[in-house]
Amino acid sequence: MRFGPHETPSDRPSWFEPAEPAAPPRRPALTASAEPSRIAEWAAARCDEIVGDIRGGLWRFTEGVADVLFPGIGPAVGSARRATKWGPTLVGLNDGRGSDVKIGLIGSENLGLWAVLRCRLGQSDHGPRPGWCADLPLGPLGAEGIRAGAVTISAIEDVKPADVAPLLLAEPAVGAETRLLLRVDVPGRSGVVAVDAGDGVWQRRIFFTLLHPARRGAGHHETYRVVCPVCGRRRLAQFRGFDVCSDCGWLHTQP
């Protein structure tokens, strides 16, 4: 994973290209009958079937920025990385409900470090605007490296087309140079994952926020809610230090 700017692909024409290049190939348009089936397939999928192949990238990014967002956590993250044989836990909060929006958590109970995420098939959609969804501009990328005073931190990772296919409406071509852009707003600790399907266009696909809630003795809740104040449903998932609505992603951190 590279943090910082990405070299722009050269657009210098090569000698064998025609002087008047043909219009760039369009991505195959979905037929009227294909789209509902793709949505049905997505809705039936578990969160890990959608984001499982990029969770490693999101988690490496989380580890990379953790000490800037949560000063002092760096040594714990470093030792956990050395000690842990397995990757981070991925929990799909609304699996099995047939939703075309997936709400998930990637993280480590031991570290108390989590990424809460929300994604929707082929769309940039932060839904009922949970407070943690930062709709960041995707450029420019700025200077390379992670600096303590940074306002946003970005990273780019090359990924396999199959790893990001579940996030896209149309699957990228085999051999496409697919990439992930991860970008977080440091003060808000929230960010966006964008996918380049190989055509150089960044498509926002996942919104996320990073959490390191203060340790609460025995998970005691100062307040206890039953109903989500945003969507009105009653399926709040409660974790040590925070609650998440498993339907819309409303998030409440314990004070």
Q: Is position 168 an interface residue for Zn ion (rule: CB under 5 A)? A: no
**Least distance CB 119 / Zn ion (angstroms):** 16
- Sign of torsion over alpha carbons 47, 49, 54, 55: positive
| Residue 196 or 247 having the CB closest to Zn ion | 247
According to DSSP, the residues that pair with 101 across neighbouring strands are 120
Q: Is position 230 an interface residue for Zn ion (rule: CB under 5 A)? A: yes
Coil, strand or helix: which one is 119?
strand
| Residue 59 or 250 having the CB closest to Zn ion | 250
Distance CA 134, CA 191 (A): 5
Q: Is position 169 an interface residue for Zn ion (rule: CB under 5 A)? A: no
Distance CA 228, CA 163 (A): 33
- Interface residue with Zn ion among 80, 150, 170, 231 (CB under 5 A) is 231
Q: Is position 47 an interface residue for Zn ion (rule: CB under 5 A)? A: no
**Are 42 and 100 a contacting pair, CB within 8 Å?**
yes
Within 190-229, the residues that bind Zn ion by CB under 5 A are: 228
Q: Which stretch binds Zn ion (CB under 5 A): 44-52, 60-68, 131-139, 242-250?
A: 242-250
**Are 240 and 219 a contacting pair, CB within 8 Å?**
yes
**Chain contacts with Zn ion (rule: CB under 5 A):** 228, 230-231, 245, 247-248, 250
